[in-house]
Structure 1
Amino acid sequence: MHAGQVLFRIMPKMLQAELSKAQAETKSAEIELQNTKLLTDKNVVSKNELAMAKAKLQSANAETAMAKMHLAFTEIRAPFDGTIDRIPLKLGSMVEEGALLTSLSDNSQVFAYFNVSEPEYLNYQSAVKAKGQQEVSLLLANNELLKSKGKVELIESEFDSETGNIAFRARFKNADNLLRNGETGKIQMVVPLKNALVIPQKATYEIQDKTYVFIVDSKNKVHSRPITIKGELPDLYVIGDGLGLGDKILLEGVQKVKDDDKISFKFQQPQDVINKLRLKTE
């Protein structure tokens, strides 16, 4: 639907008849004025008669202009380019004042609203200060990324006291007209982590809401150690506390061993392990 295109016409025939009547009266007044002017020039009628004829023409022109305006009110035109929703009424249906006939959406650009936790908000603000405008990605319901990046335009002034989150709004270009109002997805925000330690998720196990890994010591014995998770990526955990750079962890067979078991193992380079996962890192 393009801007200016007629969407609906409401009772145009009656008002079209009024316009035709007004135009006919205007034409009649124009002829009467011409005749009166000729008679005035020949001093057959007074100048007052000519003034009356001019006033009558002006009144007829005003009536015609008013009729045109009324007729224009019967046309509902698209105020902008966009996508029109379904039309529930049929041709000839009666409508009341204020009735919703349809809706028109400008989907050339869309807003995505999402909530961010307090730690994520702080990381985002740090990234913005370091790199300027922060762009975000939109993961669609089919797990494919939208081609265009979005820009965060608005952040609410307060955190929600119940959820601990704060609302963001990002604007995305919708050149392919792929996005629609009410569509869902996931926002991906890029937040840099310096000197981050990552491990495969399958190397961990949980007991009573706590996450553990098995450390392999110099005597090839395994010992459970609790860890804290700072972030989550496909197949990987970003570790906050619990592990150091020199630690060896058990990757396979986590469910088959217990504390102080002595094992034989084959060491794998971390980069080789990560390269076999879904997420490829540098």
Structure 2
Amino acid sequence: MKKILMLTGAVAFFNLTSCTTKKEEKKEESQFSITNPLKTDTSFTKEYVSQIRSVRNIEIRAQEKGYLQNIYVDEGQSVKAGQLLFRIMPKLYEAELLKAQAEVKEAQIELQNVKLLADKNVVSRNEQAVAQAKLDAAKAEVSLAKLHLSFTEIKAPFDGTIDRIPMKLGSLIDEGALLTSLSDNSQVFAYFNVSEPEYLSYQMNVKDRGDKKVSLLLANNQVLSEKGNVEVIESEFNGETGNIAFRARFPNANKLLKNGETGKIQMVVPLRGALIIPQKATYEIQDKMYVFVVGKDDVIHSRNITIASEMPDLYVVGSGLSETDKILLEGVQKVKDDEKIRYKFQDPKEVISHLRLKAE
């Protein structure tokens, strides 16, 4: 019986010792990495959704009513300024011109007769003036008829590319009917919206901003080979969105970009004296961002911070931290507030060097 008790006690002691050893080993393994926020000068690329517009894009509309007699171009065709695009049947307007020209001849003959009579004092000079006015009115009708006749020929006002042609040959065209659109794609504008804080930063940091060059990320996730220039900012903010529109101009020599395309403007934003921390050192609760700060006696405390900017793998801290604070780098989901931890310190520059964005 004593042997059995001794054996049981030995097993219990062994199990207790084993459990204690495992807990100690687990405790030994619970060593966390900490670091400091890094204060440095750097930059990051901000993306903005943009709409592409041709430098010139107009609707070509009929200025006279009639049947569409000729279409001289095709959809997608490049045309030159002054090139004939469409012709509306001109017969009616040709007849009106002939009638107006005949009325001019009649008025000229009448004026000659009245002048001869006025010279002989048969009629007054007032009647000669009336005949002259009739001639002037007839000439004006000729000019108007020529203008209407010219409207039957629709020509390109500038070099560009023809869009869709909705009307077909023989269609009855009303005055003002849409015949096609014409786009000048030699250059394009990219419009994008910027928030008020970003606008203020852009305008107030002219020296830090450098040049006004921006890149354009296309819909296939490839960056346009040529950069554009930010050249225009609208005069007022949108009351509903709180944004203001910027416009960048891009060269388009190969005509790759078309009116109506979409893309993303990539603008390099410089940061001077930015306080940077890894994103993995943070956690979020109810739309608020927190980090664990190591205090006295190696006890950690959660602290609310604000984020000024976001970059790949990194946050720029707006408030809540200083560069001397020690923050938990990894394992934020494994610890609790007011918990004492064991840790090893990692140099912030070394930590940043292993992330996608490196400090300058």
Whole-Å Cα distance in 1 between the matches of residues 294 and 239 of structure 2? 43
1:164-222 Cα deviation digits (max 9, x unpaired): 32232222222332322232333333332211111122221111221111123464432
Question: Is it true that 1:140 corresponds to 2:218 in the alignment?
Answer: yes
> For residue 317 of structure 2, what is the aligned residue in structure 1?
239
> For residue 175 of structure 1, what is the aligned residue in structure 2?
253
Give the SS at the match of 2:180.
coil
Whole-Å Cα distance in 1 between the matches of residues 299 and 148 of structure 2? 91
> For residue 107 of structure 1, what is the aligned residue in structure 2?
185
Question: Is it true that 1:185 corresponds to 2:263 in the alignment?
Answer: yes
1:131-168 Cα deviation digits (max 9, x unpaired): 67533333333443333333222223333344332232
> For residue 79 of structure 2, what is the aligned residue in structure 1?
2
> For residue 32 of structure 1, what is the aligned residue in structure 2?
none
Count the aligned residue pairs.
236
Of 322, 330, 352, which residue of structure 2 is paired with 1:252? 330
Whole-Å Cα distance in 2 between the matches of residues 109 and 181 of structure 1? 10
Is the CA contact (8 Å cut-off) linking 1:150 and 1:172 kept in structure 2?
yes
Shift in Å, 1:267: 4.1
**1:6/1:210 Cα in 2 relative to 1: closer, same or farther (>3 Å)?**
same
> For residue 48 of structure 1, what is the aligned residue in structure 2?
none
Question: Is it true that 1:214 corresponds to 2:292 in the alignment?
Answer: yes
Of 131, 139, 156, which residue of structure 1 is paired with 2:234? 156
- Give ranges in structure 1 of 5+ residues lacking alignment: 22-64
- Give ranges in structure 2 of 5+ residues lacking alignment: 1-77, 99-142
| TM-score when normalising by structure 1 | 0.70
- Structure ranking higher in strand proportion: 2
Question: Is it true that 1:205 corresponds to 2:283 in the alignment?
Answer: yes
Shift in Å, 1:99: 0.6
> For residue 35 of structure 1, what is the aligned residue in structure 2?
none
Aligned-residue RMSD, C-alpha: 3.2
**1:221/1:145 Cα in 2 relative to 1: closer, same or farther (>3 Å)?**
farther
Is the CA contact (8 Å cut-off) linking 1:9 and 1:76 kept in structure 2?
yes
Give the SS at the match of 1:256.
coil
Whole-Å Cα distance in 1 between the matches of residues 222 and 352 of structure 2? 22
Shift in Å, 1:100: 0.5
> For residue 88 of structure 1, what is the aligned residue in structure 2?
166
Shift in Å, 1:237: 0.9
Is the CA contact (8 Å cut-off) linking 1:127 and 1:134 kept in structure 2?
no
> For residue 30 of structure 2, what is the aligned residue in structure 1?
none
Give the SS at the match of 2:293.
strand
Shift in Å, 1:130: 5.6
**1:211/1:95 Cα in 2 relative to 1: closer, same or farther (>3 Å)?**
same
> For residue 273 of structure 2, what is the aligned residue in structure 1?
195
| TM-score when normalising by structure 2 | 0.56
1:16-49 Cα deviation digits (max 9, x unpaired): x98xx9xxxxxxxxxxxxxxxxxxxxxxxxxxxx
> For residue 154 of structure 2, what is the aligned residue in structure 1?
76
Give the SS at the match of 2:328.
coil
Whole-Å Cα distance in 1 between the matches of residues 243 and 149 of structure 2? 52
Is the CA contact (8 Å cut-off) linking 2:208 and 2:270 kept in structure 1?
no
Whole-Å Cα distance in 2 between the matches of residues 137 and 128 of structure 1? 19
Is the CA contact (8 Å cut-off) linking 2:209 and 2:270 kept in structure 1?
no
1:56-83 Cα deviation digits (max 9, x unpaired): xxxxxxxxx9999877544323222222
Tell me: higher relative CO, structure 1 or 2? Use CA pairs within 8 A at least 6 residues apart: 2
Whole-Å Cα distance in 2 between the matches of residues 193 and 208 of structure 1? 28
